[in-house]
Amino acid sequence: MKKSLFVLILASLLLASCGSKKVATPAKKIERISHAVPVSSDQTRRLISEARRWIGTPYRYGGQTLAGTDCSGFVMMVFDSVYGLKLPRSSAQQRQYSLPIAEKELAPGDLVFFCTSGGSAVNHVGIYIGSGKMIHASLSKGVMESALDEKYYSQRFHSAGRVVTPTSDSPSEIAADRRELKNKIKQLEKEKKKLSKAAPEAKPEAKPEQSRQIKTNQQLIIQQQTTQPDTTYVVTDPSIFD
């Protein structure tokens, strides 16, 4: 009897491991998503690749490492690794952190939320990877890939959300943006130098040729003044001095 009671308590704790006391809207059945959603960016591909790297990690309540993780810890670590984002720790908080979207708008990298404990509170989360599938930390099998139209998950589906992530994409695109910024800075520096050289002038200055001609004319005038003979006056009538 005591052993059965212990097992029941342990099972209840595990079921609530991703849960929260916050009340959410009632769960509804998710429609089958039969078409593949294309991966739209390098970062989304990196996100899915990182999520797949965790497949096979055992379930561990409160864990968030490759040695063992729960559902919200898995999501939190994947987004932190790819985007550097610190998501909330519980699945219910992650739902409130993300932007609500309709099931038909699901795209790779979005989050999907479930109510698996029989109530209306969100207590499970997974990462949607396209083609109607998600990667999540299952209570019984650890991190794995599952289809959203599986009876268990379709009946317990609650909602979907999109995490607002940084706009920059791949490292190559970031490097290109930095190069473009550097080029713009260099161009601005060149324009600044041009403006500093083109200072306003009070009056027009003589060109070098004009300056040399003016100096030459001045020298000729001085030379003429110094070499011109004195004027000699011949007095023919001395009486003018009387």
pTM, rounded to two decimals: 0.56
Q: How many CB atoms lie within 10 A of CB 131?
A: 13
Per residue in 61-102, pLDDT (tens digit) is 999 999 999 999 999 999 999 999 999 999 999 999 999 999
Per residue in 162-188, pLDDT (tens digit) is 998 765 455 555 556 567 666 767 777
Whether 136 is catalytic is: yes
Least confident range from 14-23, 138-147, 204-213: namely: 14-23
Q: Say if residues 47 and 109 touch (Cβ distance below 8 Å).
A: yes
Instruction: State the greatest distance between any 2 C-alpha atoms of the chain, in Å, as a whole number.
Output: 166
Q: Say if residues 123 and 20 touch (Cβ distance below 8 Å).
A: yes
Q: Where are the domains of the chain?
A: 16-162
Whether 71 is catalytic is: yes
Which CATH architecture group holds 16-162? Alpha-Beta Complex (3.90)
Q: Which residue among 18, 35, 115, 124 is the active-site one?
A: 124
Best CA proximity match to 124, nearest among 173, 73, 171, 175: 73
Q: Which residue among 18, 71, 115, 158 is the active-site one?
A: 71
Q: Which residue among 18, 115, 136, 158 is the active-site one?
A: 136
Residue 238 has pLDDT above 60, yes or no: no
Whether 124 is catalytic is: yes
Q: How many CB atoms lie within 10 A of CB 193?
A: 10
